[in-house]
């Protein structure tokens, strides 16, 4: 993973004022439902069947499809010799996994302790109002979800939009980030 450090806009340069911008593997655009079965089969064929490999397989499916298709749960369960309920439980337990296509933009606000201590809950309330969606929900434009630490704890509140991690986000800078997204004025 490539990590580039950028300063906050308008902030003096200093170690405690450095924001991280992480380049993560690109998420594949959501694709046609008919292709899901083949992609899931490819992921499973390349994955050992031990339980330790379940979560990485689910994350790989989500990276390639955009979400974990509910109709793939049976095949995944069979591959790992688990029940459908077991797999469903894992998919719904982990906040990073989703079972429906995301919006055009995925906005995650860190809810972990360090970010909470510097106002992530208040920022979340602002984001819900600004975007018109509740945390954990979304629409075709945007998915708003909770994150649990992006490794940027010293510069919270932290927001990840797509692949970019932003530190020391205020209500004002959040609005500026949203306004800068492609299609934000549509
Ligand atoms: S607690 Fe928010 S980035 Fe670590």
Q: How far apart are CA 155 and CA 167, in angstroms?
A: 5
Per-residue pLDDT band at 185 (split at 50, 70, 90): low
For residue 20, tell me if it sits in a domain: yes
Note the pLDDT of residue 14.
29
CB of 173 sitting under 6 A from ligand 1: no
For residue 184, tell me if it sits in a domain: no
For residue 70, tell me if it sits in a domain: yes
Mean pLDDT on 91-119: 92
Centroid of ligand 1 to alpha carbon of 47 (angstroms): 31
Per-residue pLDDT band at 96 (split at 50, 70, 90): confident
Provide the sign of the torsion angle of the four alpha carbons 114, 107, 4, 176, taken in this order.
negative
CB of 156 sitting under 6 A from ligand 1: yes
Residue from 102, 166, 104 nearest 137 by CA: 102
pLDDT at 140 > cutoff 60: yes
Instruction: Return the ligand 1 atom nearest residue 110 CA.
Output: 2
> How crowded is residue 35: how many other Cβ atoms within 10 Å of its Cβ?
12
Has this prediction a pTM greater than 0.75? no
For residue 85, tell me if it sits in a domain: yes
Last residue of a domain, one of 66, 93, 120: 93
Mean pLDDT on 154-172: 96
pLDDT at 169 > cutoff 60: yes
CB of 112 sitting under 6 A from ligand 1: yes
**What number of H helices and E strands is found in the chain?**
7, 7
**Continuous segment of H or E residues that includes residue 18:** strand 18-23
Number of separate domains in the chain? 2
Higher pLDDT, 14 or 131: 131
Same domain, yes or no: 39 and 82? yes
Note the pLDDT of residue 17.
31
Note the pLDDT of residue 136.
87
Probe ligand 1: pick from 115, 119, 120, max atoms within 8 Å of CB? Answer: 115
Note the pLDDT of residue 115.
98
Instruction: Return the ligand 1 atom nearest residue 147 CA.
Output: 2
CATH of the domain at 146: 3.40.30.10
Q: How far apart are CA 70 and CA 97, in angstroms?
A: 12
pLDDT at 167 > cutoff 60: yes
What residues make up the domain containing 48?
A: 33-93
Summarised one tens digit per residue, pLDDT across range 1-51 is 333 333 333 332 222 332 333 333 334 444 555 678 999 999 999 999 999
Same domain, yes or no: 75 and 118? no
């Amino acid at each position: 993973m490539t990590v580039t450090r950028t300063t906050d806009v308008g902030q003096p340069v200093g170690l405690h004022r450095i924001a991280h911008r992480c380049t993560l593997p690109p998420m594949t655009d959501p694709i046609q439902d008919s292709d899901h079965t083949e992609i899931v089969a490819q992921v499973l064929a390349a994955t050992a069947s031990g339980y330790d490999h379940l979560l990485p397989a689910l994350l790989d499916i989500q990276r390639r499809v955009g979400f974990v298709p509910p109709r793939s749960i049976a095949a995944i369960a069979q591959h790992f010799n688990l029940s459908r309920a077991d797999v469903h439980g894992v998919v719904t337990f982990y906040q990073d996994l989703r079972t429906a296509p995301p919006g055009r933009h995925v906005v995650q606000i860190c809810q972990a302790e360090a970010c909470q201590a510097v106002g992530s809950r208040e920022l979340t309330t602002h984001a819900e109002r600004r975007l018109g969606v509740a945390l954990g929900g979304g629409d075709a434009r945007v998915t708003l979800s909770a994150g649990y630490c992006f490794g940027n704890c010293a510069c919270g509140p932290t927001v990840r939009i797509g692949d970019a991690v932003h530190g020391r986000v205020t209500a004002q800078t959040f609005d500026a980030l949203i306004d800068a997204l492609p299609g934000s004025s549509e």
